[in-house]
Amino acid sequence: MASPIRILTTVPICDGHDSAINTINLEFIRHGIEVIYLGYHRSVGDIVRAAIQEDVRAIGISSYNGGHIEFFAEVVNLLRKKGADDIKVFGGGGGTITHDDAAIMKRKGVEEVFFAGTSLDDMMKFVHQRYGKPRAKRSQAKSFDQELAHRLTEIEDAAAGRKKIRNSKFEIRTSRRSRVIGFTGPGGAGKTTLIDELVLRFLNQNPKGRIAILSHDPSVVGEGALLGDRATMINSQDDRVFMRSMATRGQAGGLSPATHDCLALLARSEFDYVIIETVGTGQEAMPFQKNGIVDLTVLVMNPDYGSRLQLQKIVMLDLADIVVVNKSDLQRARTAHTEIEQRLEQNRPARGSHGEGGRSQQLIGTVAKRHRDPGVDRLFDLISSGNLVGRDRPARRTKGSK
């Protein structure tokens, strides 16, 4: 099965009109397209950075606030400057963009402008006809991030049986491996917001460090996917953060068929940390058990999980190294914290009997949406200290150890 078309959609800076783009996103998904939605109020730099890291075929911009001639042109120009002019730009703006404006925009490199009254079918046909064929020979990558993005695309294409992986001219470090943290939990628990807050703390603590995020959203074979985690990221809009969005492409368990190889590549690259976030998962999910690369697993829950009986059924409570009760400002949070703590207490003798010395799982309460939340601070300290070793992975050997 060929890899789906991947496009990035967004709304420009100082523009909060997202009703039209949300409607178009859903139509793209129904037509088998994977949409990386960056959200609204996004700068030219944010858009181009995301498009390069996601290695999309095109950027679709919805503009209703004016300034479209200059804004679209700046996106095209920055793509060219970054050596990514194989990523094309199209868009629209209802009655805001005139036909005369569109003529100027096309001369500046915009591929297509859709006007008010254009049918959704016409938009879908344009995207499939223009971007549905394999890319022609690609220009040489100008940066490590661009080359890395190309290689991740090749891994996904290889998993789809479409393309072999080539050698890279950029060095992939093998002398060390990034610390890999896996985040999982039910949808709506706040995993993405929590990760974004941890990224902020990392960037502040490590002025020269880099971090990568491998994020997953669900899809169905034959249909597309809405990859929307970037839309809720604020602190992660930074050149020191590399983020890649992946669709499950019909695979159960919260990850993609290409996840393992993509994660292995990121872990051997120049990042201090690699964070992998699964699709919102249910009771049965054990996404990292056969992965072999994840150092620590973090289960993120919200207080409204149901009864104690439901709590007993969640398999990841037996396996996670850290359990986070997010949204701890909600009314039921204190009761939930007590019930989960009792549930984890039941694990300790069994974990110790398998030669782990009774090592305790960690339970932390957070309010990720709250600035400078002490629970998130504690979680970051626990992860960054390196003192907590994942259940299925021994402590890292330091240089010179045997």
d(CA 242, CA 351): 35
Least confident of 117-126, 129-138, 373-382: 129-138
* Structural domains of the chain ordered from first start: 6-131 (3.40.50.280), 179-385 (3.40.50.300)
Q: Name the residue with higher pLDDT: 45 or 249.
A: 45
Query: Cβ(35)–Cβ(231) under 8 Å?
Result: no
228: CB partners within 8 A, 6+ apart:
37, 217
Structure tokens at 147: 């080359």
Does position 169 have pLDDT exceeding 80, yes or no?
no
Counts for the chain of helices (H) and strands (E), in that order: 13, 13
Q: Name the residue with higher pLDDT: 306 or 387.
A: 306
Rounded average pLDDT over 167-171: 51
String of DSSP letters for 232-268: G-STT-STTEEEEEEE-TT-SSSS-TTHHHHHHHHHT
Rounded average pLDDT over 16-32: 93
**For 63-86, b where at least 16 C-beta lie within 10 A, e where not — what string?**
bbeeebbebbbbbbebbeebebee
Across the chain, what does the average pLDDT equal? 88
86-127 pLDDT tens trace: 999 999 998 899 999 999 999 999 999 999 999 999 999 999
Rounded average pLDDT over 392-398: 42
Helix, strand, or coil here: 301?
Answer: strand
Structure tokens at 30: 């129904």
Element containing residue 70 per DSSP (H, E): helix 68-81
Most confident stretch, 161-175, 301-315, 360-374: 360-374
Tell me the sheet residues that pair with 66.
none
d(CA 167, CA 173): 14
**For 156-179, b where at least 16 C-beta lie within 10 A, e where not — what string?**
bbbbeeebeeeeeeeeeeeeebbb
Least confident of 222-226, 391-395, 396-400: 396-400
Does position 268 have pLDDT exceeding 60, yes or no?
yes
Tell me which DSSP letter residue 279 carries. Answer: P
Does position 354 have pLDDT exceeding 50, yes or no?
no
Does position 291 have pLDDT exceeding 80, yes or no?
no
